[in-house]
């Protein structure tokens, strides 16, 4: 992860629950992402993990006590929340949620939360029955109406040996949700369909023709669209990438399958982004059995052309806003604009193939009717966010 939280000051509240041990890892991830982290613990939390752990990881002394003598004016709750860009409470116990829902302030953390002038995010963590209890559900509904953002909880194995809802999200998931929270919701309510990765065109049961593509750029576009508030479906060829949170993923293999899955959904979309490196050709028919080496005779594989998924979506009677990708080894502007015309799409993102494939960083230039917009070279997620911002602006003026 790069320094995505540079310049952000986060107050991390830790309440009493066994998931408190995961808050240590969360602290490390937030610091690694560039945030300054001020940890505030409830008395209960200190029974599970000691403040020393958080002090070492955050590089700041931890506050646990409302009457802490270190704060000269005895206003720790005001001082601590005044500096914060946001307050994140993880784990958030049932008791903490209940207190905040009712405006109670009987310790440093709840007093600080009541006195805040910044967003509050909470990652609930509790036993399944405590989560399902109508009182907790009432409190959660109240908190949502009050504008508190709840991250999770997840479902799965619990420390008590049970299985169900109430498990705290993993630290990585909390950071991903927090980063999403910070992005502008410029595609709220929109439906976005994305293709990513290579396609694999079978020759026989064990061989095939494919393209070099890690899928990273397409996955970054899916994540950025989701962060912007869109309902995202990601259709991908064989890749080894984790699915971005909140994205619906459909795995496919060959171009024909990708074409069918996309065409079945395209008309209902607001935006279609073709990032996949689709194979231009496929073997006419895949052999049922593994091809054997025949003495002397060189095998010939008859190829047929694959459909152009992007061009077919753009040719629909009422097409979604279509975005293409063009990777060229030279003459980027000329080739990209020609491709845009040929496929009849409003926007194409082009890059020069120069750094090889599969990296986390890229260079992109956007080509549309108005001309070209070079994006700052950088991590693929940053480029994807810029691309999504550009798409949202063009959609607005359509
Ligand atoms: O024609 P070319 O492959 O260079 O165009 C690249 C763009 O077209 C990408 O957005 C890619 O996802 C899309 N494409 C497609 N179906 C194909 C070939 C390319 O959707 N068969």
CA pair distance 227, 51, nearest whole angstrom: 33
Q: How would CATH label the architecture of 9-182?
A: 3-Layer(aba) Sandwich (3.40)
CA pair distance 220, 382, nearest whole angstrom: 8
Ligand 1, residues 324, 336, 348, 350: which to mutate, most atoms within 8 A of Cβ? 324
pLDDT value of residue 337? 95
Fold (CATH) for 191-396: Rossmann fold (3.40.50)
394 C-beta closer than 6 A to ligand 1? no
Percent of the chain at pLDDT exceeding 90: 85
Tell me the pLDDT tens digit for each residue of 19-57: 999 999 999 999 999 999 999 999 999 999 999 999 999
278 C-beta closer than 6 A to ligand 1? yes
Pair type for strands 303-305 and 36-41: unpaired
Query: Residue 231's pLDDT band (boundaries 50, 70, 90)?
Result: very high
> H-helix or E-strand containing 192?
strand 191-196
Catalytic residues: 160
Indicate which residue's Cα is closest to atom 2 of ligand 1.
326
Q: Is the pLDDT of residue 74 over 70?
A: no
Between 362 and 246, residue with greater pLDDT: 246
The structural domains of the chain, with segments of one domain joined by +, span: 9-182, 191-396
pLDDT value of residue 72? 58
Q: Is the pLDDT of residue 208 over 70?
A: yes
324 C-beta closer than 6 A to ligand 1? yes
Ligand 1, residues 218, 274, 320, 328: which to mutate, most atoms within 8 A of Cβ? 274
- 266 contact partners, CB below 8 Å, separation of at least 6: 193, 272, 313, 316, 319, 320
Q: Is 88 helix (H, G, I), strand (E, B) or coil?
A: strand
195 C-beta closer than 6 A to ligand 1? yes
Of 155-159, 272-276, 315-319, the one with minimum mean pLDDT is 155-159
Q: Give the mean pLDDT of 47-74.
A: 88
Q: Is it true that 9-182 and 191-396 share their CATH fold?
A: yes
Does the model's pTM come out above 0.85?
yes
Question: Each residue of 350-382: b (16+ CB within 10 Å) or e?
Answer: bbeeeeeeeeeebbbbbbbeeeeeebeebbbbb
Of 82-86, 91-95, 179-183, the one with minimum mean pLDDT is 82-86
Query: Residue 202's pLDDT band (boundaries 50, 70, 90)?
Result: very high
Q: Is 63 helix (H, G, I), strand (E, B) or coil?
A: strand
**Alpha helices (runs of H) in the chain, residue ranges in sequence order:** 20-32, 45-48, 51-58, 76-82, 94-101, 108-114, 128-132, 134-145, 171-182, 216-227, 255-266, 309-314, 332-343, 380-396
**Ligand 1 atom showing the smallest separation from residue 306 Cα:** 21
CA pair distance 17, 91, nearest whole angstrom: 7
Q: Give the mean pLDDT of 138-154.
A: 97
Q: What separation in Å is there between the alpha carbon of 195 and the centre of ligand 1?
A: 10
Q: Any idea which residue has 């194995």 for tokens? A: 157
pLDDT value of residue 164? 87
326 C-beta closer than 6 A to ligand 1? yes
Q: Is 182 helix (H, G, I), strand (E, B) or coil?
A: helix
CA pair distance 385, 200, nearest whole angstrom: 28
Tell me the pLDDT tens digit for each residue of 321-378: 999 999 998 999 999 999 999 999 999 999 988 755 677 788 899 999 999 999 999 9
Helix-strand-coil split of the chain, %, nearest 5: 35, 25, 40
Instruction: Output the average pLDDT for the chain.
Output: 94
φ and ψ at 266, to 5 degrees? Answer: -60, -40
């Amino acid at each position: 992860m790069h320094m995505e939280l540079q310049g952000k000051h986060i107050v991390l509240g830790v309440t009493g629950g066994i998931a408190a041990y995961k808050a240590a890892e969360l602290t490390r991830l937030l610091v690694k992402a560039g945030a300054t982290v001020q940890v505030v613990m409830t008395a209960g939390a200190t029974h599970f993990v000691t403040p020393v752990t958080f002090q070492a990881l955050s590089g700041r002394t931890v506050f646990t006590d409302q009457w802490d003598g270190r704060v000269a004016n005895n206003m720790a709750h005001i001082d601590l929340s005044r500096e914060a860009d946001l307050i994140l409470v993880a784990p958030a116990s049932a008791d903490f949620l209940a207190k905040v829902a009712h405006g109670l302030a009987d310790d440093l953390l709840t007093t600080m939360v009541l006195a805040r002038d910044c967003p509050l995010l909470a990652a609930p963590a509790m036993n399944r029955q405590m989560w399902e209890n109508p009182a907790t559900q009432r409190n959660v509904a109240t908190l949502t109406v009050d504008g508190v953002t709840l991250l999770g909880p997840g479902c799965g194995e619990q420390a008590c040996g049970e299985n169900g809802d109430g498990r705290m999200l993993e630290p990585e998931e909390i950071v991903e949700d927090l980063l999403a929270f910070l992005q502008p919701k410029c595609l709220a309510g929109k439906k976005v369909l994305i293709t990513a990765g290579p396609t694999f065109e079978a020759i026989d049961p064990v061989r095939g023709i494919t393209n070099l593509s890690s899928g990273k750029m397409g996955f970054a576009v899916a994540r950025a669209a989701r962060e912007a508030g869109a309902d995202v479906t990601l259709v991908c060829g064989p890749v080894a990438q984790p699915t971005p949170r909140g994205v619906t993923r459909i795995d496919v293999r060959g171009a024909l399958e990708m074409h069918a899955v996309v065409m079945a959904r395209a008309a209902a979309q607001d935006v279609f982004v073709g990032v996949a490196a689709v194979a231009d050709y496929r073997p006419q028919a895949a052999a049922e059995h593994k091809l054997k080496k025949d003495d002397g005779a060189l095998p010939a594989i008859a190829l047929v052309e694959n459909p152009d998924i992007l061009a077919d979506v753009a040719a629909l009677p009422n097409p979604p806003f279509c975005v293409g990708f063009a990777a060229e080894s030279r003459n980027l502007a000329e080739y990209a604009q020609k491709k845009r015309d040929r496929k009849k799409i409003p926007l194409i993102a082009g890059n020069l193939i120069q750094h090889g494939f599969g990296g986390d960083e890229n260079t992109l230039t956007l080509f549309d009717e108005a001309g070209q917009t070079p994006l700052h070279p950088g991590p693929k997620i940053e480029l994807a966010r810029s691309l999504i911002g550009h798409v949202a602006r063009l959609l607005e003026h359509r």
